[in-house]
Amino acid sequence: MKLAIFDIDGTLVKGSSERLFWGYLAARGRQGPRQVFAYLLFLLRYLPTGGIHTIKKNKAYLTGLRTSDVAMLASDFVQTRLVKRLNEPAVQRLKEHLRRGDTVVLLSGTLEPIAHALAAHLGVRRVCATLCSERHGRYLPQPPETHPFGAAKLSLAKQLANQLDLDLQHASAYGDSGHDVFLLEAVGNPVAVCPDQALLNAALENDWEIIGVAEAQRAWR
């Protein structure tokens, strides 16, 4: 049994699941002045020290929403919206790993409720995604407690491998972004899925496998 780690946005799903979910929340009246103000205030407070990555960590648009309501909405969102945007080549790889009995983990910077709902749809049992701050069942306008992104994703993957008593050197990892290079360099079987330019360069330089609809066009640019 080996470990197989899958990113979500851009890898298993075309585009940003969280951006789509934000629009989904707004369409259902779950975004108002309180959430907009909290989002902007978060940027003002943390942008000077966090730089551009502050935008990735800004989940303050969930401020005041019940965690149980968000989980329920995320489940509906995945079933009615997100499954239509699945990236089939990556999903087929995931299913192959499951058939072989590998331990599959969704490791993503998207919201944990979205990742859990998608994992349930795909038959995956293990998830490590963005865990937002909350108190008394409502979300707070604070930085996430866990945010798998960039080097932090590699650190979390190492923790998962240790917990599962599996060797990261023999693991597979699938990602779409240059921010995934930290993790891909650490595994035995790195796979770039419809990579952005930074990851494409790394994949070509290191002779990593490239899959997805656009791999041929991008490789010859």
Using CB atoms within 10 A of its CB, is residue 34 exposed (0-12), middle (13-18) or buried (19+)? middle
Query: CA-CA distance, 141 to 62, in Å (whole number)?
Result: 8
Q: Tell me if 3 sits within 8 A of 168, measured CB to CB.
A: yes
> Where do the domains of the chain lie?
3-219
Query: CA-CA distance, 69 to 140, in Å (whole number)?
Result: 14
Strands (E), the chain: 3-6, 103-111, 126-130, 134-135, 138-139, 172-175, 189-193, 209-211
**pLDDT score recorded for residue 143:** 95
Tens-digit pLDDT string for the chain (221 aa): 899 999 999 999 999 999 999 999 999 999 999 999 999 999 999 998 888 789 999 999 999 999 999 999 999 999 999 999 999 999 999 999 999 999 999 999 999 999 999 999 999 999 999 999 999 999 999 999 999 999 999 999 999 999 999 999 999 999 999 999 999 999 999 999 999 999 999 999 999 999 985 544 444 44
Residue 103: closest CA among 151, 154, 157, 146: 157
CATH fourth-level superfamily of 3-219? HAD superfamily/HAD-like (3.40.50.1000)
Query: CA-CA distance, 78 to 11, in Å (whole number)?
Result: 15
**In this structure, what are the phi and psi dihedrals at residue 121, rounded to the nearest 5 degrees?**
-65, -35
Query: CA-CA distance, 179 to 148, in Å (whole number)?
Result: 10
Instruction: Output the furthest CA–CA distance in the chain (Å, rounded).
Output: 53
What's at 31, amino acid-wise?
Q
β-pair partners for 138: 66, 135
**pLDDT score recorded for residue 50:** 80
